[in-house]
Amino acid sequence: MNIEEITAHLLRIAEYDEHVWQCDEQQAIELQFQDLGYVDSLSYIAFLTAIETQFSLTFDFDEMESENFRTLRGIATLIQHKKL
């Protein structure tokens, strides 16, 4: 699975909606959603669980604290590396 396919799955999991997120898809992929307060703690746990279920993997604490885990593109990169 390539980055674009993974990112498309992540957008669906995150329930991307241009009108709600107030940005286009490309901006949403690069948006630092955690830093900007777009995700509360319960939403974050649900999002993380959905990702781990969808891709049959788990993230360790260091991965979740990494710079990559701040954007959908970064998460997609982590997923791609874990699936290799």
Residue 31 has a pLDDT of: 83
- Residue 41: domain span: 3-83
A 10 A CB-CB count for 83 gives 11
| Amino acid 80: pLDDT | 95
13 sits in which H/E element: helix 3-13
> CATH number of the domain that 78 lies in?
1.10.1200.10
How many domains in the chain? Answer: 1
pTM, 2 dp: 0.86
Tokens linked to 12:
């669906």
**pLDDT given at position 7:** 94
Per-residue pLDDT of the chain (84 residues; tens, 9 = 90+): 899 999 999 998 888 777 767 788 888 888 887 665 666 778 788 888 999 999 999 999 999 899 888 899 999 999 999 987
